[in-house]
């Protein structure tokens, strides 16, 4: 199914008996939704990056559990719970770094373990709550994050953290949206190699909202900071450890190091579903490595080539380089001092 010019960007649309997923691999050229009716399809949509971004992955997985229940309850009323649990285990293997995936699946699994009068209605309500809560958290974080930006003339963001990466509105991009509505400021976006979430998604998403953005090559970030054009770097997160260390898209750590050198503030915006209170530091975060083909020109992929590629797609920024972590439960300034445990 193909749609043109949506009024607002929606990565995920729940229809009641299927999940429509905007294929982000085709943006910005084509707006096309794929329709999934089972957990295996949702697993595939996450693995292939049709849907991406930590909160959006968690929400998609929650709906995947509902689809699994719809399928197995009808086909095998005796053993349906065990089959749904198998699908949950499979969904948990789709991507390793974003903790929102495991957080959402745990919530669905805990509900499944309860005696349910109307399992489909209750599982659906839980997935819809996860989705709605994420949008509400983003709107709240947008406002409190914008408070921090008062007087800022320019910001740089990395990857895509907008409606495409979340239930709606966005985390870091939500703060930029809210701040821009209060008072226009210069917005720069790094292209985010190798998958180009910044170039293909962020500037497109901002354009849908009539927010002008300037794209830069990732390698131009230091020079941009040197010009004095930006006061803040604003990013999202895939997993935040209890001490405030933050895993996010590869390149975030470099930006934080550069920000320190140039006296630029560094803000992380993420709902508390992105905080992994079970780990003490970023050293315990599994970093996803994707296929070399995402980096290497095809000529080097042929057998016999001695050229290889290392493609980690996240890195960990130490809390000591972060000025503020903004969540829906409050802001932690200088997280290196006491971490984010107080938000649990």
Active site members: 238
Angle CA 268–211–169, to nearest 5:
50
Name the residue among 207, 131, 210, 211 with its Cα closest to residue 176: 211
Task: Provide, rounded to whole angstroms, the least separation between the CB of residue 210 and ligand MRU.
Answer: 21
The whole-angstrom separation of Cα 8 and Cα 6 is 5
270, two tokens: 């993420």
Name the residue among 99, 114, 8, 30 with its Cα closest to residue 61: 99
Number of chain positions touching ligand MRU (CB under 6 A): 17
Site string for ligand MRU, 278-317 (x = CB under 6 A): -----------------------------------x----
Does residue 46 interact with ligand MRU by CB under 6 A?
Answer: no
Per CB under 6 A, the segment of 37-45, 208-216, 222-230, 234-242 that binds ligand MRU is: 234-242
Does residue 249 interact with ligand MRU by CB under 6 A?
Answer: yes
186, two tokens: 């210069």
The three-class DSSP label of residue 2 is strand
321, two tokens: 């380089």
The whole-angstrom separation of Cα 197 and Cα 204 is 10
Does residue 178 interact with ligand MRU by CB under 6 A?
Answer: no
Nearer to ligand MRU, 70 or 197 (CB): 197
Site string for ligand MRU, 113-152 (x = CB under 6 A): ----------------------------------------
Nearer to ligand MRU, 159 or 275 (CB): 159
Nearer to ligand MRU, 84 or 230 (CB): 230
Per CB under 6 A, the segment of 48-56, 295-303, 304-312, 331-339 that binds ligand MRU is: 48-56
66, two tokens: 């509902």
Which of 94, 171, 243, 246 is in the footprint of ligand MRU by CB under 6 A?
A: 171
Per CB under 6 A, the segment of 83-91, 159-167, 260-268, 333-341 that binds ligand MRU is: 159-167
Which of 50, 52, 72, 239 is in the footprint of ligand MRU by CB under 6 A?
A: 52
Which of 68, 94, 166, 323 is in the footprint of ligand MRU by CB under 6 A?
A: 166
Q: What is the DSSP letter of 86?
A: H
The whole-angstrom separation of Cα 159 and Cα 103 is 22
Decide if 12 contacts 46 (C-beta within 8 A): no
Q: At what angle do helices 119-148 and 54-75 cross, to 10 degrees?
A: 180
């Amino acid at each position: 199914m193909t749609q043109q010019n949506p009024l607002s960007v929606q990565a995920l649309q729940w229809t009641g008996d299927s999940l429509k997923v905007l294929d982000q691999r085709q943006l910005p050229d084509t707006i096309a939704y794929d329709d999934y009716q089972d957990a295996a399809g949702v697993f595939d949509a996450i693995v292939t990056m049709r849907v991406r971004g930590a909160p959006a992955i968690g929400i998609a997985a929650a709906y995947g559990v509902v689809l699994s229940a719809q399928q197995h309850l009808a086909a095998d009323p005796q053993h349906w719970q065990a089959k749904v649990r198998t699908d949950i285990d499979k969904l948990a293997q789709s991507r390793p770094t974003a903790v929102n995936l495991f957080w959402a699946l745990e919530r669905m699994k805990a509900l499944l373990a309860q005696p349910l009068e109307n399992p489909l209605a209750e599982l659906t309500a839980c997935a819809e709550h996860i989705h709605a809560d994420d949008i509400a958290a983003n709107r709240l974080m947008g406002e409190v994050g914008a408070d921090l930006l008062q007087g800022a003339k320019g910001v740089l963001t990395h990857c895509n953290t907008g409606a495409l990466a979340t239930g709606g509105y966005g985390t870091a991009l939500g703060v930029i949206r809210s701040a821009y509505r209060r008072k226009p400021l210069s917005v720069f976006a790094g292209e985010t190699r190798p998958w180009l979430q910044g170039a293909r998604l962020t500037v497109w998403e901002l354009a849908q909202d009539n927010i002008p953005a300037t794209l830069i090559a990732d390698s131009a970030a230091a020079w941009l900071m040197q010009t004095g054009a930006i006061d803040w770097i604003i990013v999202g997160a895939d997993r935040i450890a209890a001490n405030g260390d933050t895993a996010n898209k590869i390149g975030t750590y470099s930006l934080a190091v550069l920000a320190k050198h140039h006296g630029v503030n560094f803000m992380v915006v993420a709902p508390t579903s992105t905080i992994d209170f079970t780990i003490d530091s970023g050293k315990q975060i599994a970093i996803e490595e994707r296929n070399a083909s995402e980096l290497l020109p095809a000529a080097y992929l042929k057998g016999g080539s001695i050229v290889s590629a290392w493609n980690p797609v996240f890195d960990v920024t130490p809390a000591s380089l972060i000025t503020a972590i903004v969540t829906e439960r409050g802001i932690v300034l200088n997280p290196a001092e006491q971490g984010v445990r107080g938000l649990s």
